[in-house]
Amino acid sequence: MKRTITLTVNGAPRSVEVEPRALLALVLRDQLDLTGTHIGCDTSQCGACTVHIDGRAVKSCTMLAVQAEGHAVTTIEGLAAKDRLHPLQQAFWDKHGLQCGFCTPGMIMTAADLLAHNPKPSEAEIRHALEGNLCRCTGYQNIVAAVQLAAGAR
């Protein structure tokens, strides 16, 4: 049975009618038009769907929308203030930390969680933190450089 859930998305309250089985990632994409959250796998490996729930990075394809009821969801679209770039977004741009861009939103959301709780991570810590985000284009080197740059800019 469908039910209406209320949650905060990128700072604004939203109500949406969902089936209990609906994955948060699909609800964000199909019903809330937040298509910056991508789906790249079905086993919780790739991390393209990473969003923040109450400020912590989670994989929105491994979460039911009903589980997010009453919580605050932040997607890549809501990471920075309007018309501004988050330091990580800027750093990914500056350091060529992306190519096709499909993994990028999830990568940035995970890195944002890392830096929020470990402002000056070592390279090894960055690589460890990004284990749940796969990128097939960059070989990770410039992603790591981007996270380091953003960490330095804080």
Partner 1 sequence: MATLFGSGIKRREDPRLITGKATYTDDVKLPGLLYAAMLRSTYAHAKLNQVDVAKARKAAGVVAVYTGADVKDKLNTVPCAWNVPNCDLKVPPHPVLAVDKVRYVGDGIAMVVAESRAAARDALDLIDVDYDALDAVVDPEKAAAKGAPELHKEVPGNIAFTWKVAGGDTGKAFAEAAVRVEQRIVHNRLLPTAMEPRATCASYNAGTGQLTCWITSQNPHIHRFLLSVMTKLPEHRIRVIAPEVGGGFGSKIPGYPDEALVSFASMELGRPVKWTEDRSENYKVTIHGRDHVEYVELCGTKDGTITGLRTRVYAGLGGYASTAAPGIPTILHGLMYSGPYTIPNIEGTIYGVYTTTTPVDAYRGAGRPEATFLLERMIDLYARQIGMDPVDVRRKNLIPKDKFPYTVATGITYDSGNYQGALDKALQLIDYKKVRAEQAKARKEKRYLGIGVTTYCEICGLGPSQVAGAVGFGGGLYDSAIVRVYPTGVVRAYIGGKPHGQGEETTFAQIVADEFGIPVENVEVVAGDTEATPQGWGTYGSRTTAVCGSAVKVAAQRVKEKAKKIAAHLLEASEADLEWKEGKFVVKGSPDKGKSFGDLALMANVAWNMPPGVEPGLEATAFFDPSNFVYPFGTHICTVEVDVETGEVKILRYVAVDDCGPQINPMIVEGQVHGGVIQGLGEALQEMAVYDEDGQLLTGTMMDYAVPKASQMPKVETAHTVTPSPVNPLGVKGVGETGTIASVPTLVNAVCDALAPLGVTHIDKPLTPARVWAAIQQAKGGTP
Partner 2 sequence: MIPTSFEYVRAKNLSDALKAMGKNTKVIAGGHSLLPLLRFRLAQPDMLIDIGQLRELKGIKRSGGGLKIGAATTYRELLESKELKALYPLIAEVTEHIGDLQVRNAGTIGGGLAHADPAADMPPVMLVLDATFVLQSKTGKRSVPARKFFKGPFTTALKPNELLTEIQLPALPKGVGTAYASFEQAASGYALAGAVALIAIAKGLITRADLAFTGLGDAPFLAPAAAKLVATTGDASLIDQVAQAAVAGVEANDDVHAPAAYRLHLGRVAARRALTQALAQAQRPG
Interface residues with partner 1 (CB under 8 A) are 19, 21-22, 26, 29-30, 33-43, 45-46, 48, 75-77, 80, 85, 89, 92-94, 96, 98-105, 108, 124, 126-128, 130-131, 133-144
By the 8 A CB rule, do 128 and 153 touch? no
Q: Of residues 37, 50, 138, 142, which one binds partner 2 by CB under 8 A? A: 50
The binding track of 114-153 with respect to partner 2, each residue x by CB under 8 A or -, is x-------------xxxxxx--------------------
C-beta of residue 131 within 8 angstroms of C-beta of residue 95:
no
DSSP calls for 19-54: -TT-BHHHIIIIIS--TTS----SSS-S-TTEEEET
Indicate whether 17 belongs to the interface with partner 2 (CB under 8 A).
no
Residue with tokens 């890195």: 111
| Angle of CA points 107, 72, 59, to nearest 5° | 35
Structural element, H or E, at residue 94: helix 87-94
- When asked if residue 63 is in the footprint of partner 2 (CB under 8 A), the reply is yes
Residues forming contacts to partner 2 in the complex (CB under 8 A) are: 1, 3, 19-21, 23, 26, 42-45, 47, 50, 53, 56-59, 61-64, 66-67, 69, 110, 113-114, 128-133
